[in-house]
Chains A and B, each alone.
Chain A
């Protein structure tokens, strides 16, 4: 498909063209694998009995999810008053968590779509898991606006549907409604993209399974038989979906940032928000992908597939986005000073040195300072060093959203209503519950679906090897 990847030479005697790979390229998959090794290695964790570690992890995640469910029931039963919100700070942890989870979701589409368009073939080892994370993260994100409504059974009111209340429609000019469209489109398109990529692998699982498993995998693999005429169309559709998902991923976090940027709150009302948010999203999402991959490659013995080279490539992306996010922080502070607008200047001084200064310090340390370690090759290629860095980045990125939301709101235009917001135990529990939901889904995914896109990995096995024929 990509002629840029290798040059074709015509062997006159043989009468056909054969790709010649550069010797400078290193193999993407270690261990000199044959396609049937790939099938065996990737299917192995799905076909045996789950290990004790899987049960332990799943039980922890599921317990956290149940804590979240109970607290959501408590919150809906009693009311939003169970949260720490007050008149001044009407958006707290719920929106912080929403933006955090949507951000996490962006790495999946980056890896599956954008890196695909850039012909980054190393993506094949990590795209399936990253796409799965996208879907689970968007599910977690969706919960927060839903429960913040207070009456979630009326959530369908956010969709435009014909009704008997006279001519009455949702306000299409509201950024909150744009969010509804952006997030639901993102969820549906990501799910389609993920499932579409899964079909050939489901067929592989079907042909190896027996009994009920065979029936279930058979149902979802749509009668896939590896026909090349289908493959040929399949690749076109994959390319089209990647092309559509790329502008989509930019639009989603742009629209999320509009929730803030189109308001007239100092600290939010800023044209830099869309690129700043998109970069931050990729930054945090990529970090979570790396964190989970470092664990998964060890536990599931995928070291040959997710090599140190893959970690290095992702760490470079984390470093790049960290630098862009740092630049955005500096630009915001500079703009506040240069604008000579007393409200802007106050909000930024208050953000750094006011009551939320501690959160600002955590954000700066985790997002600006710690990722600078990634300039060192040793930090990028040693999993034990890379893991803590990526965890710190996610802590920092959660705090970034918290800082933007709480510190911009808590001292509003009327000093008599200045206040301080801190989360109640219910909010802490619901955040824990969202992590529970994410990891419950993730553990089920590891158990029932192939974590590595087998058909795609088989296609890049020869990559970087000198053709022997």
Chain B
């Protein structure tokens, strides 16, 4: 097997190459782009991320945690009679519960994203080609026949094609 990295100068060529590559039965491993290229998800066959569910769960945990803690404080641990209002009167507890829900959802989602995308402080970046964070677009595919894939990408307008043997 060979890893083939094809470099393109613009997003249109990358998109076209990605779409044709799937028709050619080349397995797209990943693409490397300076900005999110819209339409590439479909071309690469990436499913929608499930991080939205994580976000909901963190938000729900924050809401229940924030509200539950306040109720525990006022009903169990530190009951205070304020003007004869019932101890579990909810309206005054909403702001804090709302804020904890937002805080947990936001921080939890970002931390989950870092974990899933394996990003952490000090990690060494492995760049597929130079200039990816500037203006170059790279498509990485796996192929049995590296030479054929190279020819294919050169036809598609790749400015550079690099190959790397893998077992």
Contacts and interface: CB of A to CB of B under 8 A. Distances in A.
Contact of B78 (A14, A18, A168, A224): A168
Main DSSP-derived SS at the A contact region: helix
A50 B69 CA distance: 51
23 contacts: A1-B36, A1-B38, A14-B16, A15-B19, A15-B23, A36-B134, A178-B96, A182-B95, A192-B107, A203-B125, A204-B133, A219-B121, A225-B32, A225-B126, A226-B34, A227-B30, A228-B37, A231-B35, A233-B116, A236-B48, A237-B109, A247-B98, A251-B99
B110 A226 contact: no
Contacts of A459: 35-36, 38
B36 A189 contact: no
A78 interface: no
B134 A204 contact: yes
A182 B33 contact: no
Interface in A202-227: 203-204, 206-208, 218-227
B51 interface: yes
B50 to A, nearest CB: 9
B77 A169 contact: yes
Given A16-B16, A247-B102, 10 more contacts: A2-B38, A177-B96, A182-B99, A200-B34, A200-B35, A207-B127, A220-B121, A231-B37, A232-B46, A251-B95
Of A17, A34, A169, most B-chain CB atoms within 10 Å: A169
A237 B51 contact: yes
Contacts of A4: none
A18 B78 CA distance: 63
Nearest to A462: B11
B82 interface: yes
A35 interface: yes
Of A2, A175, A178, most B-chain CB atoms within 10 Å: A178
A406 interface: no
B72 to A, nearest CB: 10
A316 interface: no
A33 to B, nearest CB: 10
B135 A240 contact: no
A185 B105 CA distance: 11
A12 interface: no
Contacts of A206: 125, 133
Which 6 pairs across A and B sit closest by C-beta, in order of nearness? A223-B123, A35-B135, A222-B119, A228-B31, A173-B92, A36-B135
A251 B12 CA distance: 42
A230 interface: yes
Contacts of A16: 15-16, 19, 43
Of A17, A218, A244, most B-chain CB atoms within 10 Å: A244
A233 to B, nearest CB: 5
Interface residues of B, number: 71
Contacts of B118: 223
Nearest to B70: A172
A232 B113 CA distance: 11
Nearest to B111: A192
B73 interface: yes
A143 interface: no
B166 interface: no
Contact of A228 (B33, B48, B105, B106): B33
Contacts of B73: 160, 169, 172
A224 B125 contact: yes
Nearest to B40: A228
Nearest to A467: B12
Nearest to A239: B52
B93 interface: yes
A218 B31 CA distance: 21
Contacts of B127: 207, 225-226
A188 interface: yes
A469 B12 contact: yes
B49 interface: yes
Contacts of A333: none
Interface in A1-60: 1-2, 14-19, 34-36, 39
A6 to B, nearest CB: 10
A172 B93 contact: yes
B16 A188 contact: no
Interface in B75-130: 77-78, 80, 82, 92-93, 95-96, 98-100, 102-103, 105-107, 109-110, 113-114, 116-128, 130
B125 A218 contact: yes
Nearest to B139: A228
A240 B30 contact: no
B55 interface: yes
Interface string B132-156: 1111001000000000000000000
Nearest to A202: B133
Nearest to B51: A236
A342 interface: no
